[in-house]
Amino acid sequence: MRYNKGSNMPARTSPGQTRSALSSPSPGGSEKLARGGCGLKIGSANVGTMEGRSGEVVEMVGRRCLDFCCLQETRRSGTGTETFGRYKFLWSGCVEGTAGVGFLVEEKWVDKVLEVKQVSERIMVLRVRVGKLVLSLVSVYAPQVNRTMSEKEEFLISLRQVLSAVDARERLVVCGDMNGHAGRGKDGFEGVHGGCGYGVRNTEGEMLLEFADAMDLVVTNTWFTKDDYQLVIYEPGGYKTVVDYILVRKAERSMVANVTVAPSEPALP
């Protein structure tokens, strides 16, 4: 299904490695989304659950010196916040305590948070002031490949509504487990896919690229040449896959200095 701009759009990595983006945007001259000369470090990880594993996850995020980490499959029910050392954990789940998304926010940014939108167990938004700019960070967890197509389309409809509501003056970063394979090549999606992906595109990957194209986003993972170990997340059995993605607006692609996989994290099963 092809999505058109302006239309109403229908829109598992298994837990494992964490994907991080080093954002160092400078489109606004002195209004850089950066601190000092390095920039924000934003990560994304499917943690499997935060129950009984929160300490390990927080240790990993701190060791990786992340400012923010988007979390998927947190398996926390309802909504809430909790502090773990230098990080504040904010989550959005459902009554059953399945799926779930959230953020770990480094303490220096906690008092800069302007708004938290707990949209559903699959979408959550964090608005935070960074210098003179506002960053809208979105943590997402798309339905798994074995879920119904209508559920996947409903997820993308909801995500479109959320992203459309973000002020154009704010910087936008979408991170998460999209449960789709965008594939190695950019064929048909020039300007969205950078041609440095991995594997074969599937239906869910096609939907992701169509969604990104309709929303004027780019899949930043595909714009950096990487060795497999910096690109691929390994599932049990040695199956290689890439389903975690970081998306930004096309006009803001230059703000992302690097996207890579941090391998072999014991905190992530």
- Residue 19: the pLDDT is 59
Of 98, 82, 165, 176, residue with least CA distance to 127: 165
pTM to 2 decimal places: 0.87
pLDDT (0 to 100) of residue 56:
94
Q: What is the pLDDT of residue 236?
A: 58
DSSP conformational letter for 190: B
pLDDT of residue 101: 97
Cβ-Cβ contacts under 8 Å for 257 (sequence gap 6 or more): 22, 23, 24, 39
In what order do the strands lie in the sheet containing 244-249?
113-118, 123-130, 133-141, 171-177, 244-249, 217-219
| Cα atoms in the 13 Å half-sphere on the side-chain side of 116 | 18
Which regions in the chain score pLDDT beneath 70? 1-38, 233-238, 264, 266-269
Domains of the chain: 18-262 (3.60.10.10)
- Scanning 4-99, the segments in alpha helix (DSSP H) are 54-63
State residue 207's pLDDT score.
97
The one-character DSSP state at 143 is P
| 3-state DSSP assignment of residue 88 | strand
Comparing CA positions, the residue from 42, 44, 98 lying closest to residue 71 is 44
